[in-house]
Structure 1
Amino acid sequence: MNRKKILFVFNPFSGKGLIKNYLVDIVDIMVKAGYEVTIYPTQSSGDATDKIIKDAKGYDRIICSGGDGTLDEVITGLLKSKLDIPVGYIPAGSTNDFANSLGIPKVMTQAAKTAVTGAEFPCDMGDFNGDTFVYVAAFGIFTEVSYQTPQQLKNILGHLAYILEGAKHLSDIKSYNMQIEYDDHVIQDKFIYGMVTNSVSVGGFKGMTGDDVKLDDGVFEVTLIKTPKNPVELSEILTCLTNLRDDSDLIYSFKAKKLHIITKEKVAWTLDGEYGGEHDDLTINNLNRAVPLIVDAAEIVGITAHPTEVFEDPYENLSLEEIEKL
């Protein structure tokens, strides 16, 4: 009997190199679940994408471990290769926003068990001018911290590193004049921050992206913060963000499947917390249910638009004889 095959790709330095303490146990969990395991430690930025493109074909499951950036690289490789392979995720970064949204356990061995025994959840992804993001594309104040904060600071402070580094820029807030087209709407305004998300948690805080967030509904949650004209407006913005409210005229909040963004100058963006380049003409598309992720079905009942599919019985249409042969 041929054993199913897992390609296990991990970032050995993510989260203070935490995986080194659990690597043997994680691989043992995969083997005991009936898989033949190939392990690959990434060597540099972008290496996970290259590995998936080069070698993922022929594997039954991909499992990756690292921060959100490592997951982003794996998903990018799968989409570029047009491979339909389920992905399990063992979070080891400092913030792990997307893992939090999916209810993936924080303990690495427990996450490994979910990655080999969980249910498939076809999840939306984002296309960003031909690039890929998993859960957030953002610009403006606080975003540059995700690729300028030293890795050691990320490891020690977690999501607080983003805020502490960003706070240094409050006295010099840069504003961007933008035209944003979505569905049948057009917005023209000046903004200090914006994010296009498919996540319950951003920056380590749950609730930042609004209510009724579904990760497989074909639409993004969009948040845009207008440029404050005075300290009172700035205070109102900070109060809304602190209390996770979007009921201010200074904050646009809406859902969209596709956005076209035009700016008078090139704007730096981050994709899943990593530098995403500078753009002045940008199209963002929701790739509905593009990649199957392995999750604990009970953990995502509130964030799926298709709960009956996630809880579907995989043995429903099999005879007793067929089940016994599995």
Structure 2
Amino acid sequence: MSKRLLFIINPRSGKGQIKAHLADILDIMIKAGFEVSVHITQAGGDATKQTIEQAENFDRIVCSGGDGTLDEVVTGMMTLEPSKRKPIGYIPAGSTNDFGNSLGIDKNMLNAAQISVSDHLFSCDIGRFNSDSFVYVAAFGIFTEVSYATSQDLKNILGHAAYIIEGAKQLRDIPSFRMQVEHDGNVVYDEFIYGMITNSKSVGGFQGIIRGDIGLNDGVFEVTLIKMPRNPIELNEILGFMTGIIPDSDMVYSFQTSDIKFTSAEEVPWTLDGEYGGSHKSVEVSDEQSALQIAIE
């Protein structure tokens, strides 16, 4: 009996390049022994909805799009009981594809399609963010609005340049957030311009920002919190750290943890895998170790 596969496609990601390869990708899936059903996403959140409603009817769900599309599928799968979760395949087609790169998934769509139906499954950590979930990054502060405030058309045309253009607009008035951060028995109270909890080797397509020994199923996140600079010297120190010129800085908190809590007097806007994750005064993030299986080479 053929195995059943649901192929969820975001047709707008990455200049819509999936359209030129669709027949070949379907052929690869069928030759791998899958009976394939295709769903084209109709709006934001549609991939999550389809995953929740359809997962029990399929043996695997493969998605093609950017990291936001993968995030939607993972979000849907994480609402299910662990015993009912199905393996996920990913064919990256977005502007950055941080998580696909971290997993070593080929940028060539046909090679990625072969990987998506592979029997080699990697048990990956997934982040819990209050009642939501994320695959590789939860972040707040400067630049975090860039990915979801930038139109898909601009991303498709300019790629990384679109993020830089939108991000430059925020440099005129750097916002900061005074927050209490609790982890592993430690309590930090400080003013931050940026913070990220990551399970990835790159963010925004840039490697080297995240420090430490990075494992995608080691049960811990990498946390980076950048303090508010008070003068140009401190700002230069931050830039030096972020670009790897300076190995350590008192302006940056950098550590690993499996659980962390943020509390602030004002609502802070967050992004989850580059998509708007809501504004919150209190956020609890935890690492669910090896929560989902993802097909890798």
- Structure with higher Rg: it is 1
State TM-score, norm by structure 2.
0.97
Alignment of 1:59-138 (within 5 A): 59-82=58-81, 83-138=84-139
The percentage of aligned residue pairs carrying the same residue is 58
Alignment of 1:126-275 (within 5 A): 126-243=127-244, 245=246, 247-275=248-276
Give the counterpart letter for 1:51 in structure 2: Q
Q: Give the 3-state SS of the residue equivalent to 2:213 in structure 1.
A: coil
1:20 maps to 19
Alpha-carbon distance between aligned partners in 2 of 1:179 and 1:211, rounded to the nearest angstrom: 23
Contact 1:72 1:134 in 2 (8 A): yes
Alpha-carbon distance between aligned partners in 1 of 2:90 and 2:18, rounded to the nearest angstrom: 13
Q: Gapped runs of 5+ residues in structure 2?
A: none
- C-alpha deviation, 1:212, in angstroms: 1.3
Give the counterpart letter for 2:65 in structure 1: G
Q: Which runs of 4+ in 1 moved over 6 A?
A: none
Contact 2:136 2:273 in 1 (8 A): yes
Alpha-carbon distance between aligned partners in 2 of 1:274 and 1:288, rounded to the nearest angstrom: 22
- C-alpha deviation, 1:116, in angstroms: 1.0
Alpha-carbon distance between aligned partners in 2 of 1:200 and 1:244, rounded to the nearest angstrom: 18
Alpha-carbon distance between aligned partners in 2 of 1:118 and 1:236, rounded to the nearest angstrom: 46
How many residue pairs get matched? Answer: 295
Contact 2:226 2:252 in 1 (8 A): yes
**Cα distance per residue 1:3-52 (max 9 Å; x no partner):** 11111111011111110010110000000111100111110000011001
Give the counterpart letter for 1:202 in structure 2: V
Give the counterpart letter for 2:4 in structure 1: K
Give the counterpart letter for 2:12 in structure 1: F
- C-alpha deviation, 1:75, in angstroms: 0.6
Contact 2:261 2:284 in 1 (8 A): yes
Alpha-carbon distance between aligned partners in 2 of 1:163 and 1:239, rounded to the nearest angstrom: 18
Contact 2:209 2:244 in 1 (8 A): no
Q: Give the 3-state SS of the residue equivalent to 2:57 in structure 1.
A: coil
Contact 2:121 2:294 in 1 (8 A): yes
Alpha-carbon distance between aligned partners in 1 of 2:50 and 2:174, rounded to the nearest angstrom: 39
Q: Give the 3-state SS of the residue equivalent to 1:90 in structure 2.
A: strand
Alpha-carbon distance between aligned partners in 2 of 1:197 and 1:155, rounded to the nearest angstrom: 25
Contact 1:208 1:244 in 2 (8 A): no
**Cα distance per residue 1:128-160 (max 9 Å; x no partner):** 111010000000001110111121221122233
Q: Give the 3-state SS of the residue equivalent to 1:81 in structure 2.
A: coil
Alpha-carbon distance between aligned partners in 2 of 1:155 and 1:219, rounded to the nearest angstrom: 33
Alpha-carbon distance between aligned partners in 2 of 1:43 and 1:133, rounded to the nearest angstrom: 21
Give the counterpart letter for 1:155 in structure 2: N
State TM-score, norm by structure 1.
0.88
Aligned CA RMSD, in angstroms, stands at: 1.1
- C-alpha deviation, 1:171, in angstroms: 2.2
Alignment of 1:306-321 (within 5 A): none
**Cα distance per residue 1:89-110 (max 9 Å; x no partner):** 0000000000010010001000
Cα 1:258–1:41 change in 2 (3 A) is same
Q: Gapped runs of 5+ residues in structure 1?
A: 297-326
Q: Give the 3-state SS of the residue equivalent to 1:57 in structure 2.
A: helix
- C-alpha deviation, 1:245, in angstroms: 5.0
Contact 2:59 2:87 in 1 (8 A): yes
**Cα distance per residue 1:216-261 (max 9 Å; x no partner):** 0111000000000011111111122122755010011000101111
Q: Give the 3-state SS of the residue equivalent to 1:22 in structure 2.
A: helix
Alpha-carbon distance between aligned partners in 1 of 2:172 and 2:41, rounded to the nearest angstrom: 38
Q: Give the 3-state SS of the residue equivalent to 1:24 in structure 2.
A: helix
Alpha-carbon distance between aligned partners in 2 of 1:287 and 1:159, rounded to the nearest angstrom: 30
